[in-house]
Amino acid sequence: MAARPSTQHRSTPLTPSAYFRRGIYRIALRIILFMILLTSAIVAGGLVGLAVSLRDLPDVRVLQNYIPSQTTHIYDVNGRLLDSIHGEANRQVVPLDAISPHLKRAVLAIEDSSFYYSPGVNPVGILRAFMADLQADRIVEGGSTIPMQLVKNLFLTPKQALARKLAEAVLSVRLSQVFSKNQILEMYLNQVYWGRNDYGAQTAAETYFGKPAADLTLGEAAMMAGMIQAPEDYNPFASLRIAKERQALVLGRMRQLGWITPAQQAAALAEPIVLKKVSPFEPSVTPYATDVVVAELVDHFGSEALRRGGMQVQTTIALETQQMAQAVVTAGQKELVRQGYTIGQMALIAVDPRTHFIKAVVGGVDYAKSQYNRATQARRQPGSAFKPFVYYTAFASGKYNPDSPIDDSPVSYPDGNGGWYTPHDYDRTFWGRITLRRALEYSRNIPAVRLGQYVGLDNVIQTCRTLGITTPLEPVVSLPLGDMGISPLEMANAYAAFASNGWFAPATIILRVSDSYGNVLLDNTPQPQLVLNSWATASLTSVLEGVIAKGTGVAAQLSRPAAGKTGTTSDERDAWFVGYVPQLATAVWAGNDDDSSLGSTAVGGGLAAPVWRQFMEKALAKEPAENFPNPRQFPSP
């Protein structure tokens, strides 16, 4: 059997140069393997570190219940805007379908044209930005999608770092998994900053063009979209030329994407841009009134809720009445100064007796010079304007009526300090025995002090408390002469109960408060309660009608039934008139902030009553005259 040929063969001997090349290859291979292992370890370590850092990122699902801070808007009773209040962000949130399609397309074109088909990140854009950042060794290009911008604004710091960009990317993907594209776009358009302290499309559209976001034209929308990258520099108030350049850039991008035609592009570029003429930082048109609104809102909801709440506040005042009141006060003070009185300030506040809604509030002559609201914050001695509380208490006791006699003769009482208090009248005369009606009509002091002693000063104070006067009051002998401070608001609202024949409710300047979704947060539907005796109140009103008809308040006469009382304090430091008709009660105060004298001849009937009359004539011009109830309609106590 023939031997099988051997399959083994002897290899050709290697030359020295071949041995050298083989060694080099082996070394190179080992180096490459080592570098791969080292790089893998570094990458693995980096990924572990990144995973640890990203593990603590916020949960985007919290945005399902997120309500951004919004501007609170204050309106008059007829729905006219009086003021807008906000913290850092001036914003009004609107649904996506309340934003112009032009603006939505313009923003997407310039900010994230692949928005509707990307997973929340744009890999091509990020890679391009990464290479640019790597070359410059710093962040020079963003590559951010709209979801990335949104999560950056809501969750992350503005610090420029690669780690933050990675966090943006992760959160953006999460965001796109939890929310629909329309939901994300709605959040973005309500969140984005448009310069001049304006956040969100609705507020920006109102600021720049004086219209809601739904009504923006293509030209306006392109200009707004062009502002986003640098809103303080690109807005048209800063530079209309630059804003037009940015507008052209946006329109060019929209044309490039095929989202508008060449004809639409040309028309938008040629479209005249009409900017809002008034500064976006408009002061309140009724500052004294809106200050009172803000104070009441803070009492109900707190200051933080006011700044962030986006509340819609309907007040009880009418703009025309408020402006009329301010004009009357300003003109009245100037006229009194012209007559020689040293009068620095006046205040006026009017309350509807049927609802106890505040209808006008003027806290001073000029808000620009002094924001102190003397109508609600000042506590000034009302003088004889306090006397009706004493007389009502007497009538309600069942022991007195307007024709009851009282002595107007010298009297002294222990002052509690070892001395004596001796009241006297302005003219230093004594009228002897007179009726309570005549004593109040002519504001005699001694009868008021005597009557206070007869009915009990604690009972007088209780009457004041029933009528909403919370100012501390002491049962001192001189209390009936109004020697303790009370605010004009307290006086007006207390007299409003007299005007309604005994019905009272706490005064308010807010009718209704709703949140940004229309849910009612506060409803001040009138709920007056009968707190006074009807006969005693009607009797008091009949006497106070005499004050205006023939007593110290003749300067307040109207062409209709009216009741009221003058007030002047010692040394002529305060002058008052507080009066009412069935539809309106108003208090007017005149004085000086430093408590100095108005002048030796200053009295409430001469200073405050004419201003009261001027306001009431204007405010009641469209109201029919009404009579007060007759005391005979009611049984006496």
**Among residues 100, 384, 516, 539, which one is catalytic?**
384
Helix %, strand %, coil % of the chain (to 5): 50, 15, 40
Give the burial string for 66-80 (b: 16+ CB within 10 Å, else e): eebbbbbbbbbbeee
CB 254 within 8 A of CB 109: yes
- Assign 3-class secondary structure to 77-90: CCCCEEEEECCCCE
- Angstrom distances, CA of residue 227 to CA of 94, 232, 615: 20, 8, 49
The token duo for 49 is 């570190």
Give strand ranges (E) for 303-399: 312-315, 345-352, 357-362
CA-to-CA distance for 465 and 455, rounded, in angstroms?
A: 16
Residue 545 bears catalytic tag: no
> Tokens in use for 38?
């080292």
> Dihedral, CA atoms, 588, 591, 592, 596, nearest 10 degrees?
-160
CA 504, CA 489: separation in Å to the nearest integer?
A: 14
Q: How many CA atoms lie within 13 A of 504 on its CB side?
A: 23
Contact between 432 and 407 under an 8 Å Cβ cutoff? The reply is yes
3-state secondary structure of 163: helix
Tokens 């520099």, located at residue: 233
CA 630, 576, 362: angle at the middle one, nearest 5? 100
Q: Is the dihedral of CA 251, 255, 259, 261 positive or negative?
A: positive
Residue 351 in tokens = 């309350």
Closest Cα partner for 333 from 615, 104, 102? Answer: 615
Grouping H, G, I as helix, E, B as strand and the rest as coil, residue 270 is helix
384 a catalytic residue: yes
Residue 328 CA to residue 325 CA, distance in Å, equals: 5
Q: CA-CA distance, 513 to 312, in Å (whole number)?
A: 6
Task: List phi, psi (to 5°) of 361.
Answer: -145, 120
Catalytic residue among 111, 168, 441, 545: 111
Active site residues: 111, 384
